[in-house]
Chain A
């Protein structure tokens, strides 16, 4: 796959005296940084010519797998297509060259991008106002919880410190609450995988005046729509708490239902999920926060300017491209794709909760557990067949969780191909389990030693050199 020379670290390609840049000559005269302010030794950065750098990173990219490479059914991540026009728009020099503190009269177009995006997000969610300041989903979650805490503080209701989350919630929810100085209490899921109303009633009764909010995704992390949301919302509001909508699973709701109409007061949106901005190998994303009328004065200062503005531009380009007609089809088509996969595989993979799912669903590993082939093995074997793996071992409700989320952009042929391979792997697990357990075989590297990495962390080139 990779020419060995370019599989090296950039440091290993460095030669003293080479350079890959050009700068203008100093026209300003002999000003130089005084010795007492200077670092003693130069930073040991690489010295490479431009083409070496370009080849190095081009070859590195070949060891990656993105949505543009193939099917990426990673549950809870909404790996949808990232339209190319969005990239073109975001790079426009009329926007990219703006300093964030430029005089207002020189940035009217940029202001309008933000206004148009916020207005569109309000319309799509049924909320009143949005802030674009949060940089990512988790940052949005934290911001939203801050709004809630400030709201209660403003009413002299400081004792409200508890946030109810379903036991199926993502780990970020409790972590965000902790950072915000709030406590988590868990409400159980019932046999249908939904919030257990009886348990919720008990908690509301028990905690009453200490409840700050209930935080949930809908559909939840099992891909199931919480159909008792009107009852849940009434219970929490009656106790004086607010409803927080974690927008991680907003995609299937486009064209179907709006968080504001469901009774939520505060939410964040992952623009990099629902609104097609690229995940970029882990970021930058954007996590705008929306609120019901009356809560907008409580937006906190969580970043200095306009959030990840260039990400917001992409999201607006996406919303404008689709327009009101097509955006309504996003949720239904994503949901159709998910249900189609579920129905096509549930005879060989364990489906713990049957019935309609939304944009994603969870298998509890292979139906036939006797082969010893685990969810991890299935995931790794998929890599051999040119697919990204689904999300594995989340949610924690099942031992062998395998969470599959196709998006609305995937064609029936792509999905049929994936179903075929999943069935093939189930068959392999029976006839040749070792082949699956030792997968992947065709990727640039095999399974990695996580224990070695964690026990003895080597996280820089300097440390790496010291090893040799």
Chain B
């Protein structure tokens, strides 16, 4: 064998063959019908040394271009404190499995409890689960949860102002699960309460909105929760986690379920994943919530301990009766978010959010001053906004890319959506404006 991941010596093999009663490795597959036995060579490259693997990925990496990021649309270029990747590389965290054996998994169970506590604080909700894959699937799960919690209601109303990528995933799940999705038309970039009221009916299980919405607008959801609850529908709010350090929380808006992506909590953009989805809800709904949950208990020595709990809800017990098939959480990314919130703490999260807000508003003002841009919506926004450009949007984006800038997301033929985080300097913003003004 003599390969770095295989410890078997020839002597080991002979001894093991003897115990098992075989003469060769091939004999281990004696029962596999010959017609399906793989006898050829895999058409794959030969073994690579570590040096060659590094070279391979360096070469591939060189084909990517690092851009200064002024785009968001759900994924934000926030700052990662250096302690996080170092702590996460601890093998005891990285190479462990789901914490079934509580006695030797207190590390994982302990941080998940902290994660749940922090997410509940951030969203202003009673409780949180141990995390989900990402924001889009967490939202789809929330929609299914609302239907499962309801009494034979099968329709969910979705605001037109949610991220189209989230909507696509929600639509996929809804189609296969047999849930009817009805859109709530937007007015002036926001969801309209009277329109919602006209669409609410006894067959509606839930109402899904986003805050800040896809266009970065901070919507006014006053009265929405009451409207939903009057019709026995659940109010579901999707938010960018980090923004909730400053903004009115889903809890304050009266949401029953708060979901979204936790990528904004210092997790690198890494071309789309892994991130972490969060799901929080009211105490009343705890047993309807999908996913893992960690709870506090005691051990037989009367010590405080943490354990996976409420497992009877889960897929491996409920099988086809389960309300979700999720059987893991995004544990390591939940740890990432937890360490981020521990380091940044009460003040740091707020400060980062406020810096992002200030940077975005400064960029917006400077762009408007060039005379080539105007704001599309006259609404309050957070760290992301949509502008109409009087020139050729494609040419502008190309020019920005050539200058090493990811200059916003194109929306429609003449619109661009920019986002700013605490990582962007005034110099970078001014440079963007200078190029955009050409």
A383 and B361: CB pair below 8 A?
no
Q: Residue of B at shortest CB range from A83?
A: B5
Q: Does the CB pair A317–B345 fall under 8 Å?
A: no
- B165's partner among A74, A304, A383, A464 (CB-CB below 8 A) is A304
Closest Cβ of chain B: how far from A94's Cβ, in Å? 3
What's the Cα separation between A264 and B346 when bound, in Å? Answer: 53
| A-B pairs with lowest CB-CB distance, top 4 | A305-B272, A94-B61, A323-B47, A280-B332
A258 (CB) vs chain B CBs: closest residue: B38
Interchain nearest-CB distance for B420 vs A (Å): 9
> Which residues of A lie under 8 Å from residue B171 when comparing CB positions?
301
Of A105, A181, A309, A464, the residue contacting B271 (CB under 8 A) is: A309
Minimal beta-carbon separation of A290 from chain B (angstroms): 15
Given contacts A178-B320, A230-B33, A309-B270, contact A85 B54 (CB under 8 A): yes
CA distance A43 to B316 in the complex (A): 35
Complexed CA–CA distance, A9 and B116 (Å)? 12
The stretch from A239-247, A363-371, A425-433, A438-446 touching chain B is A438-446
Cα distance A235–B293 when bound, in Å?
A: 42
Q: How far is the CB of A231 from chain B (nearest CB, A)?
A: 10
Most buried by A among B8, B17, B71: B8
A357 to B331, CA, bound (A): 32
A459 & B317 in contact (Cβ 8 Å cutoff): no
Q: Are A94 and B118 in contact (CB under 8 A)?
A: no
Cα A32 to Cα B144 in complex, Å, equals: 38
B78-103 interface code vs A (CB 8 A; 1 in, 0 out): 01010101110111111111110111
Given contact pairs A21-B344, A64-B107, A448 touches B169 in the complex (Cβ within 8 A): no
Q: Chain B residues near A326: list those with CB within 8 A.
A: 3, 5-6, 47
What are 20 A-B contacts with C-beta separation under 8 Å? A23-B79, A31-B361, A33-B246, A38-B246, A38-B247, A66-B91, A93-B66, A100-B75, A123-B42, A136-B326, A175-B318, A227-B32, A280-B331, A304-B168, A305-B272, A322-B3, A343-B21, A408-B5, A408-B6, A453-B309
**B352 touches A (CB below 8 Å):** yes
Q: Which of A46, A56, A263, A284 has the most CB of B within 10 A?
A: A284
Contact present for A39 and B333 (CB under 8 Å): no
Asked whether B121 lies within 8 Å of A37 as measured between CB atoms, the reply is: no
Evaluate contact between B299 and A181: CB separation under 8 angstroms: no
**Chain B, interface residues (CB within 8 Å), range:** 35 or more
Over the window 91-109 of chain A, the binary record of Cβ atoms lying under 8 Å from chain B Cβ atoms (1 yes, 0 no) is: 1111111111111011111
Closest approach, in angstroms, between the C-beta of B230 and any C-beta of chain A?
24
Nearest to A169 among chain B residues (CB) is B319
Task: Assess whether B60 is interfacial by the CB under 8 Å rule.
Answer: yes
Contact B47 A446, beta carbon cutoff 8 Å: no
B296:A464 contact, CB within 8 angstroms: yes
Smallest CB gap from A392: residue in B: B100
Residues of B within 8 A of A141 (CB): 325
Q: How far is the CB of B50 from chain A (nearest CB, A)?
A: 5
A23-B351, A123-B44, A340-B20 known; A138-B114 Cβ under 8 A: no
Query: What A residues does B317 contact at CB under 8 A?
Result: 171
User: Which chain B residue shows the least CB distance to A326?
Assistant: B3
Q: How large, as a class, is the contact surface on chain A? A: 35 or more
Closest residue of A by beta carbon distance from B317: A171
Q: Residue among B36, B137, B293 with the most chain A CB within 10 A? A: B36
Q: Which of B8, B25, B342, B345 has the most CB of A within 10 A?
A: B342
Known contacts A20-B343, A261-B36, A454-B312, A445 near B61 by CB under 8 Å: no
Q: Is A333 touching B319 in the complex (CB atoms < 8 A)?
A: no
Taking a contact as CB atoms under 8 Å apart, the answer to whether B29 and A58 are in contact is no
**CA–CA, A126 to B341, complex, Å?**
45
Query: Is B41 engaged at the interface, CB distance under 8 Å to the other chain?
Result: yes
Instruction: Tell yes or no: A154 within 8 A of B by CB.
Output: no
* Interfacial chain A residues near B122, Cβ < 8 Å: 43, 45
Checking B43, B94, B294 against A278 with a beta-carbon cut-off of 8 angstroms, the contacting residue is B94
The answer to the question of B104 belonging to the interface, with a C-beta cut-off of 8 Å to chain A, is: yes
A344 cross-chain contacts in B, Cβ below 8 A: 19
Instruction: Take A96-B268, A178-B321, A280-B331 as given contacts and tell me if A256 and B37 are in contact as well, using a CB distance cutoff of 8 Å.
Output: yes
**Contact across chains for B343 and A21 when beta carbons are under 8 A apart:** yes
A44 touches B358 (CB 8 A): no
CA distance A327 to B142 in the complex (A): 41
- In the bound complex, CA of A287 to CA of B344 (Å): 33
Instruction: Name the CB-closest residue of A to B340.
Output: A21
Cβ distance B258 to chain A, nearest Cβ, rounded Å: 13
CA distance A440 to B294 in the complex (A): 21
Q: How far is the CB of A263 from chain B (nearest CB, A)?
A: 8
Asked if B273 contacts A307 (CB within 8 A), the reply is yes
Does B329 sit within 8 A of A, measured CB to CB?
yes
Are A283 and B120 CB-contacts (below 8 A) given A141-B325, A383-B104?
Answer: no
CB atoms of A171 and B12 under 8 A apart: no
B55 to chain A, nearest CB (A): 11
Given that A21-B345, A176-B325, A227-B33 are known contacts, is A459 also in contact with B5, CB under 8 Å in the complex?
no
Contact of A99 among B75, B81, B326 (CB under 8 A): B75
